Amino acid sequence: MGAEPQVSTVGLVLHPTAAVGSSIDAIVAAARRRPARVLARPADRHRVPSGVEVVPDARFAAEVDALVALGGDGTILGAMRLVIDRPVPVLGVNHGNLGFLAEVHPAQLPGALARLADRDFTIERHAALCVDAGPVGLTTRSGFNDVVLGRPSRTGAVSLDLTVNDLRYGYYRADALVVSTPTGSTAYNYAAGGPIVSPSSNAVAITPVAPMSGISRPVVLGAADQIRLRVAEDSAPVTLDMDGTPAAELGHGDHLTATLRPEAGQVVRLSARDHASRSRVKLSLLDLPLRPDQLLELIPPELRRDAEAAAGQLQAPGSTGLG
């Protein structure tokens, strides 16, 4: 990676409501020392200081060498969607809650920015679902987590016909249908009873939510499979969301085609091992069963050493212990 040019233009992607001012200040200060350009989009004009250059969305996507996403997983997913036609590294700074994509917390940002500028990091590549709905206009055409077909109210059911590679597979009648990438398999897909899919598989999971008839189990398809879903005549109106962002409303006879685009997004990893350990902790919070010795492996080594030292002092001869 040493032969690659240094990062000279950084784009900011901000959570819409989180207080991220301190992180923006840290980024601007780091850019002045380099020097480097810091860009923002017009939607964030009133949230950035004078040291940040506000440019139209098209220029923003075309000129950045890297993005810094300040927020949670949703903000990072949005950052990747912004540059899906020209993927660049995205550094996630966690201003949210439980998430799998963010790499650092705000206090760790200065060191992370130095490594980002020097390209001292590795890339974790993410697949995206790309959607075509024919004549139906879409506000966004891709999702790194999932594509969800739901109902706008609590009445009726979503009824969809599934075709894979021009072969009819059957139909769904459910509250909603979740089509997820491996990244999104731990989100709505998992909550609906779908499988957790390894990122190395580049597979697609289709999971019905509260199925009433038709296909009632999750289906896992390959990366090269073309998925087509058609809204049946007995369906309630259908809302189409991508990564939680409303994209369109579909009516009877409307259809969409979803295909998986491998390596459509790049997430910065400063330590792949540390990220894997954090992900194991977060997966354990999703009720994945772990044995006691496996749970101990999730504790950072320095905390484990401190605990072992404290336990040794309590067990030492002459120790009064507790109480």
Average pLDDT score over the chain: 88
Cα distances (Å, whole numbers) of residue 19 to 106, 118, 162, 221:
11, 28, 43, 40
Residues facing 220 on adjacent strands: 205
Q: Count of domains in the chain? A: 2
Q: Which residues form the domain of 179?
A: 128-263
165 a known binding residue? no
Whether residues 43 and 153 fall in one domain = no
Whether residues 61 and 152 fall in one domain = no
Which residue would you say has higher pLDDT here, 25 or 312? 25
**CATH number assigned to the domain comprising residue 165:** 2.60.200.30
Of 4-18, 202-216, 249-263, minimum mean pLDDT range: 4-18
96-135 pLDDT, tens digit per residue, is: 776 678 889 999 999 999 999 889 999 999 999 999 999 9
User: Which secondary structure element, helix H or strand E, spans residue 63, and what is its range?
Assistant: helix 57-63
Position 169 pLDDT exceeds 80: yes
pLDDT tier at 305, thresholds 50, 70, 90: confident
74 a known binding residue? yes
33-72 pLDDT, tens digit per residue, is: 988 999 999 999 999 999 999 999 999 999 999 999 999 9
Q: How many contiguous H segments (helices) and E segments (strands) does the chain have?
A: 8, 18
CB distance 266 to 116 below 8 Å? no
Position 282 pLDDT exceeds 90: no
CB distance 258 to 242 below 8 Å? no
247-266 pLDDT, tens digit per residue, is: 999 999 999 999 999 999 99
Examine the fold and report which residue of 120, 147, 180 is the final residue of a domain before the chain moves on: 120
According to the model, what pLDDT value does residue 322 have?
47
pLDDT tier at 309, thresholds 50, 70, 90: confident
Position 221 pLDDT exceeds 50: yes
Position 272 pLDDT exceeds 80: no
Whether residues 109 and 157 fall in one domain = no
According to the model, what pLDDT value does residue 123 have?
93
- Give me the mean pLDDT over the 225-247 stretch: 97
Residue 152 domain flag: yes
Whether residues 233 and 163 fall in one domain = yes
CB distance 80 to 265 below 8 Å? yes
Catalytic annotation present for 73: yes
Q: φ, ψ for residue 183 (rounded to 5)? A: -60, -45
Examine the fold and report which residue of 120, 144, 166 is the final residue of a domain before the chain moves on: 120
146 a known binding residue? yes
Please tell me whether the overall predicted TM-score, pTM, comes out greater than 0.85 for this model: no
According to the model, what pLDDT value does residue 194 have?
96
> CA quadruple 28, 30, 34, 37: dihedral positive or negative?
negative
**CATH number assigned to the domain comprising residue 28:** 3.40.50.10330
Residues of the chain with pLDDT > 70, as a percent, come to: 84
- Give me the mean pLDDT over the 86-92 stretch: 96
Query: Of these residues, 65, 73, 241, 243, which one is catalytic?
Result: 73
Whether residues 176 and 225 fall in one domain = yes
Position 6 pLDDT exceeds 60: yes
173 a known binding residue? yes
